[in-house]
Amino acid sequence: MKMYRVNVNGNVYEITLEVVDAAEVKAAPAPAAAPAPAAAPVAAPAAVPAGGEKINAPMPGTILAVNVSNGSVVKKGDVLMVLEAMKMENEIMAPCDGTVNAVSVTKGASVESGSLLCVLS
């Protein structure tokens, strides 16, 4: 055994190291490698009807409220859903008049920037 004093960022530590022979190192079994974690399945994107207006998340956050459902008729400026990001509530509004064809999120869902929220036609 050998004792050393080590200074790390102004803190002094005393450590003891065991001296081993090369034969002991070769005889020791190598630790088993941990299996790689399985990749999480990725949800398939919702089918967008031809000519449909995609409404995507402008930033990552959590959906606090979904104010529309499939078949809802909306006018330009109507609040489709509320997205919380950085402790602020952001209203996601309809960019045009139309009918909601698909809603891709639910209340409480976490979304990434660019995630599909809903589709208008």
Distances 78 to 72, 82, 96 between C-alpha atoms, Å? 11, 11, 9
Q: Residues with Cβ < 8 Å from 30, sequence gap 6 or more?
A: none
| pLDDT, greater one: 77 or 40 | 77
Q: Report CA dihedral (68, 69, 70, 73) to the nearest 10 degrees.
A: -40
Residue 46 burial (CB < 10 Å; 0-12/13-18/19+)?
middle
Mean local confidence (pLDDT), 39-44: 43
Q: What is the C-alpha separation between 65 and 67, in angstroms, rounded?
A: 6
pLDDT at 62: 93
Do residues 72 and 99 make contact, with C-beta atoms less than 8 angstroms apart?
yes
Picking from 53, 56, 54, 49, the residue whose alpha carbon sits closest to that of residue 83 is 56
Q: Is 23 helix (H, G, I), strand (E, B) or coil?
A: helix
For a pLDDT cut of 70, what percent of the chain falls above it?
A: 77
Q: Which domains are seen in the chain, by residue range?
A: 53-120 (2.40.50.100)
Is the pTM above the cut of 0.75?
Answer: no
Q: What is the C-alpha separation between 11 and 28, in angstroms, rounded?
A: 34
